[in-house]
Structure 1
Amino acid sequence: MTETKSATQKGAWLLLATFLVAVASLIYELIAATLSSYLLGDSVRQFSFVIGVFLSAMGLGAYLSRFVGAALAGFVWAQITLGIVGGFLAPVIYFAYAFLGDITVPLYLLLALIGVLSGMEIPLIARVLEDIGVRQFRFENVLTVDYVGALIASIAFPLLIIPHLGLMSASLAFGCLNLGVAGLSLLIFRDSTTRTMKVSWGVAMAASIGALVMAERMVSVVDANLFEDDVILSETTPYQQITITRFRERTRLFLDHAIQFDTLDEHRYHEALVHPAMASAPRRAHVLILGGGDGMATREVLRYDDVQSVTLVDLDPRVTELFREHPDLAPLNGGSLSDPRVNIVAADAWRFLDETGKQFDVIILDLPDPKNIALSKLYSLEFYALLVERMTAQGVATTQAGSPLFAQDAFWSIARTLEETRNPVQPGEGLFVTPYHTYVPSFGDWGFVMASVAPLAARDLPLPDGLEYLTAAEWQAAQSFSRDIDRTDAEPNSIQDHVLSGYYQAGWDAWFQ
C-alpha cells in the first residue's frame, strides 16, 4: 500500500512536470520566433521557419528517446540541458547579433537542440510512469497535460511574459523553470539519481540564476554594441522592441532595431509626409493619422489653425504614452499628443477603419515599411478601398511609400495600387495620385504617394510658416523622378498575392545583401 501511494505521488508530480516543461518548451519556441522576426525581419517567414524546425526537431527527439536506457536519468539530464540551452537562447542570440551581425546559424542550431530535447520529454515521462507502476497511467493523460501547458504558454507570452520580463529575462527565467523541474525530480526520485546529476544541476542552476540577476546589465551591454549613441530607454512591448538613443541634443527612435527618426533630419520626413496633403486639401477640419505614435506628424498637422480634431491610431499604446508623457520625448513633438484636439486610439489600423463610422478630410498613413505580409496588407487594394470610404468627398490621403531608389518596384507598386483603388465619388475611376520623393539622410531617397478622390488644383502649396525644409520649389522638385528611379511596371498589391512584400525584400536585398 505504501509503495502504491508513493507511486501515485510520483505520478502526480510527473504529470505536473509535463505541464511545466510544455510551458517552457513553447515559450522557447515563441522567443526564437520573436527574436528572428525582430532581428531578421519578415515575421511570417521567420515564424514559419521556426515552427517547422522546432516541430521536426521534436519528432527527431521523440525517435531518439528510444535509445535512452534509463528513462528517469534521461528525463533529468534533458531538463538540465534544456535549462542551459533554452535559458541562454535569448542572451546568445542577442550577443551574436550585436557582435557578429548575424544570428541565423546560432538561432537554428539552438532551436533544433531545444526541439530535440523537448521531443524526448513526453516519451521519457511516459516510460517513467510505467516503470514506477502508476496504475491509472494513460498516455493520453500525458498528452492532454502537455497541450494544456502549451495553451497556457501561448496566452501568457504576449499578455504577461513579454510586458513584464522581456525576451532576455524570460528566456533565463524559463531556463530556471526547467532546472527547477530537474531539481524536484532529483529530490523526489533521490534513490534513483547520482551525485553527478546533482552537482551538474547545482552548477547549472547557479549559472542561470546569476545570469537572470544580471539580465538587465546584459541587455545594456548588447544595446551599447548595437547602437552608436547612449541608450536612454529600451523596452520590449507585446508588439515590438522600443529603443531610444541620445548623443548630446540628438535623439533617435528605433523600433525592432530599425530607425524611425533622427531629430537631426526628422523634419524633412514629416514635413514631406504631412504638408502636401494638408496644404492641398480643400478642407482639413478632421484629420486621421494611422501610425505615427511618436507625435511628429501630429505636430505638423497642428500647424493649421482650421484643424478641429486629429485622431491618431497607433497599434502600440506604449509608444504614444512615452511621447506624450516622457519629459525628454514629449518636447520633440511640441507636446502635440497632449493637445485637446488630439484623440489617441490604440488599435490596429485596418480594424479601426473597418469599425469607425467617421469620415476625415485628410488621412495620413505613417505606417511601417511593407517588409512582410502582415504589413503589406496595409498597402493593399483592399485596405485602400476601406480607406477611401472614410474620406470625405474632397478628401486627400498620403502614405509613406519607402524608397524609390532602394526598392523601386515596391514604391511604384504602392502608387499603382492607389491608382487602381475604386473611387467612390467617380464610379469607374481610380484615385488621383501624385507620387513624390525627397532626401532624408537617415533613410536615403524616400518616397511618398498622395491620393485624392477628386483632381487637385495645380497650384503652389499654401504652406504654413515655420517649416524648416519644405518650400514651393522643393515641392515641385519632389514630383520629378530621374530615370533610374522612375515608374516601373510593378503590379498593384492585394491581400491575395502580396506582391509588394516581394518587391520590397528583393529591392533591399539587392542593395544590402
Structure 2
Amino acid sequence: MTTERAGLVWLLAATFLVAVAGLVYELIAATASSYLLGDSVRQFSLVIGIFLSSMGLGAWLSRYVGDPVTGFIRAQIALGLIGGFSASVIFAAYAGYGVIGLPLYGALVVIGALSGMEIPLIARVLEEIGAHEFRFENVLTFDYLGALVASLAFPLLIVPYLGLMSAALAFGCLNLAVAGLSLWVFRDRLGPRGRGTWVAWGLALGLSGLALIQSERMVSALDAALYEDDIIFAERTPYQAITVTRFRDRTRLFLDQSIQFDSRDEHRYHESLVHPALSRVARPRNVLVLGGGDGMAAREVLRHGAVEAVTLVDLDPRVTELFRDHDDLAALNGEALRDPRVTIVNADAWTYLSDPGPAYDVIIADLPDPRTLALSKLYSREFYQLMVQRLAFGGAFVTQAGSPLYAREAYWSIVETLEAVPSPARPGETLEVTPYHVLVPSFGDWGFALAQPDAPAQRAITLPPGLKFMSPPVWAAAQVFDGDTDRVAVEVNSIRNHPLAAYYQQGWDYWFE
C-alpha cells in the first residue's frame, strides 16, 4: 500500500473514531447535567446548542493552524485529556461544591471547539498528501457514521456497562490512540519537530490509562463524598443510578442521587400514601402499585386483610430484585415482594395502563417526582384518564404529589389535573379529589392526592393495626393547608404543554439554589 493510500485509509478511519468519541462526550455531558440538575429537555437542549456552536468556532479557528497534521494530533491529545476527565471533574465539582456550571459548560466549549477543528484539519491533510481519491463527502460520510454508532451504543452499551466516568476516560484513551497512530502514520512528515508531541502524547496516555484503571476507585471516592453514610450498594442500570447507604440501623435508597426513602421515617410516607386510599374502598381485594420497587408500599397494602392480590409495576428490574432477593433489604419491606399475593411486573407505568388488563380496586402511584418531561407525563391528565379506565367500580386512586411547600405550584397542578379528569361514574362531572400532606423529615412537608370517580362516603377512616404514624387525628390534620401551602392558581398538566415540570423546577430552585 502506498503512503498516499495508507494516509487516506487511516484518516477516514480516524474520522469515524473521533466522531464516535466527540458525540459520546456530548451525550455524557447532557446525561450528567440532567442527572444532577433535572429537567432533561432543558439540559440536553443547552448542551447540544453549546456543543454545536463551539464546533463552529473550532472550524473557524482551524484556519489559524499552520501544520494540519500536528494540529490534528495535538487536538486529539487535548480531547483525550479534557474529554476523558470531563465527567470526573463534573461529578467532583458537584460532590465538593454542589455546582457544575463552570466545569460542564467550560468543558463543552473546549471539547466542541477541538471537535470542530477535526474535519477541516483532516481535509487539509488529505489535500497536502495528494490523496487523489479524496472527496470531502467521503469524510462527512464517515463522520456521520461515527455519530450513528455512538448514538446507538451510548444507551445500549456504554452507560449500562461502563458508566459515565469510565466511559469518558475510555473514549479519552480512544482519542489518544488516534493521536498515537497518527504520529506513527505521519512520522516522516513530522520529523524531529514531532518529538515534543510524542512526549506530550506519552504523558497523556499514561495519565489517562492510569485513571481508567483506577476509575472504579474514583467512582467510589466521589460516591462517598456525595453521600453522608457508608455505601453498601451502588450500580448503574440502563434506567438509573441505584445507591443504597447505611449508617448503623439507618438505610437510605437513592435513585440518580435523589433520596427515595430513609428507613427512620419512611413509615410516615408510606402509611400516608397507602392507608387513606384503601380505607375509602369497601373491599380492596385487587391493588395495583405503580413504582414502589422498594416494596414499602406493598408492605402497607398487605396489612389489609381483604387484599387478595397486589400487582407491582416498576420499570427497573434491578430495584425489585434488590428488595426481594437481598435479605437485609427485604427485611425493610417485611419481605412483601416475596409474598405469593404480590406479582412483580417490570414495565413502564404508562404502557402497562395502556395495555388491556384487569380492573383494580385501588391504584397507588408511588412514582418519581416530575423532574423531567418524561416523568411529568405520569402526572398528566392523559395518564390519569388511562388510570380511571383501570379502576373498578367504587375504586380509588392515590398519588404522591411532591411538596406543597417547596414546590407549591407543582403540587396544586397535580391536584387540579386530577380534578379535570371526567368521572366515568358521574357523567358530566369530574373526579372527587382529596388533597392532603404530612411531615416526612427526609423530604419535608410532603403532599398526596386521593381521587375517586364517586363522591366519597362521609365515614371515619379505618386503619389496620400496628401502624406507627397514621391515625384518625393525623388524617384529619393532614387535610388542612396553611397560608404557605394552600391552593394557588395553576395550569392543568397535559402531555401537550407540561407546565408541571417547570413548576417543579422553579419551586425547588427557589428554596435550594
TM-score, normalization by structure 1 = 0.97
Matched, 1:439 2:411: no
Corresponding residue of 1:357: 357
Segment of structure 1 superposing worse, 338-347 or 167-176: 338-347
Corresponding residue of 1:43: 40
Task: Give the Å deviation of 1:227.
Answer: 1.1
Task: Give the Å deviation of 1:290.
Answer: 1.1
Corresponding residue of 1:121: 118
Matches of 1:470 and 1:350, distance apart in 2 = 30
Segment of structure 1 superposing worse, 168-177 or 421-430: 421-430
Task: Give the Å deviation of 1:389.
Answer: 0.9
Matches of 1:481 and 1:288, distance apart in 2 = 29
Task: Give the Å deviation of 1:295.
Answer: 1.0
**Which aligned pairs between 1:188-199 and structure 2 lie closer than 5 A?**
188-193=185-190, 194-199=194-199
Matches of 2:362 and 2:102, distance apart in 1 = 47
Corresponding residue of 2:178: 181
Corresponding residue of 1:389: 389
Corresponding residue of 2:167: 170
Q: Kindly provide the CA deviation profile for residues 379-420 of structure 1, in whole angstroms up to 9, marking residues without a partner as x.
A: 111111111111112110000011111122211111111111
Task: Give the Å deviation of 1:261.
Answer: 0.5
Task: Give the Å deviation of 1:96.
Answer: 0.7
Corresponding residue of 2:372: 372
Matches of 1:160 and 1:80, distance apart in 2 = 25
- SS in structure 1 of the partner of residue 328 of structure 2: coil
Corresponding residue of 1:344: 344
Matches of 2:174 and 2:326, distance apart in 1 = 36
Task: Give the Å deviation of 1:198.
Answer: 0.7
Amino acid at match of 1:312: L
Corresponding residue of 1:319: 319
- SS in structure 2 of the partner of residue 329 of structure 1: helix
Task: Give the Å deviation of 1:365.
Answer: 0.5
Corresponding residue of 2:257: 257
Corresponding residue of 1:95: 92
Matched, 1:223 2:223: yes
Matches of 1:318 and 1:508, distance apart in 2 = 29
TM-score, normalization by structure 2 = 0.97
Matches of 1:409 and 1:105, distance apart in 2 = 30
Q: In the alignment, is the contact (CA less than 8 A) between 1:87 and 1:174 conserved in 2?
A: yes
Corresponding residue of 1:399: 399
Matches of 2:251 and 2:184, distance apart in 1 = 53
Amino acid at match of 2:106: L
Segment of structure 1 superposing worse, 463-472 or 173-182: 463-472
Matches of 2:58 and 2:323, distance apart in 1 = 47
Q: Kindly provide the CA deviation profile for residues 139-191 of structure 1, in whole angstroms up to 9, marking residues without a partner as x.
A: 11111111111111111111111111111111101100100111111111111
- SS in structure 2 of the partner of residue 401 of structure 1: strand
Q: In the alignment, is the contact (CA less than 8 A) between 1:242 and 1:254 conserved in 2?
A: yes
Amino acid at match of 2:365: L
Corresponding residue of 2:299: 299
Q: Which runs of 5+ in 1 are unaligned?
A: none
Matches of 1:100 and 1:473, distance apart in 2 = 43
Q: In the alignment, is the contact (CA less than 8 A) between 1:166 and 1:235 conserved in 2?
A: no
- SS in structure 1 of the partner of residue 511 of structure 2: helix
Matches of 2:485 and 2:156, distance apart in 1 = 44
**Which aligned pairs between 1:41-190 and structure 2 lie closer than 5 A?**
41-190=38-187
Q: In the alignment, is the contact (CA less than 8 A) between 1:274 and 1:364 conserved in 2?
A: yes
Q: Kindly provide the CA deviation profile for residues 316-368 of structure 1, in whole angstroms up to 9, marking residues without a partner as x.
A: 22211221222331211122122222222222211221123322111101111
Amino acid at match of 2:152: I
Matches of 2:419 and 2:139, distance apart in 1 = 57
Matches of 2:184 and 2:341, distance apart in 1 = 63
Matches of 2:358 and 2:133, distance apart in 1 = 61
Segment of structure 1 superposing worse, 453-462 or 166-175: 453-462
Matched, 1:498 2:498: yes
Matched, 1:415 2:415: yes
What RMSD, in angstroms, separates the aligned Cα atoms of the two structures? 1.3
Corresponding residue of 1:267: 267
Q: Kindly provide the CA deviation profile for residues 198-249 of structure 1, in whole angstroms up to 9, marking residues without a partner as x.
A: 1110000000011111111111221222111111122222222211111001
Structure 1 outlier segments of 4+, above 6 Å: none
Q: In the alignment, is the contact (CA less than 8 A) between 1:363 and 1:391 conserved in 2?
A: yes
Amino acid at match of 1:235: E
Q: In the alignment, is the contact (CA less than 8 A) between 1:24 and 1:177 conserved in 2?
A: yes
Corresponding residue of 2:26: 29
- SS in structure 1 of the partner of residue 327 of structure 2: coil
Q: In the alignment, is the contact (CA less than 8 A) between 1:420 and 1:430 conserved in 2?
A: yes
Q: In the alignment, is the contact (CA less than 8 A) between 1:83 and 1:179 conserved in 2?
A: yes
Matches of 1:120 and 1:191, distance apart in 2 = 23
Matches of 2:348 and 2:45, distance apart in 1 = 23
Q: Which runs of 5+ in 2 are unaligned?
A: none
Task: Give the Å deviation of 1:53.
Answer: 0.5
Task: Give the Å deviation of 1:48.
Answer: 0.7
Task: Give the Å deviation of 1:308.
Answer: 2.3
- SS in structure 1 of the partner of residue 163 of structure 2: helix
Matches of 1:352 and 1:469, distance apart in 2 = 32
Q: In the alignment, is the contact (CA less than 8 A) between 1:167 and 1:236 conserved in 2?
A: no
Task: Give the Å deviation of 1:436.
Answer: 0.7
Matched, 1:205 2:226: no
Segment of structure 1 superposing worse, 422-431 or 110-119: 422-431
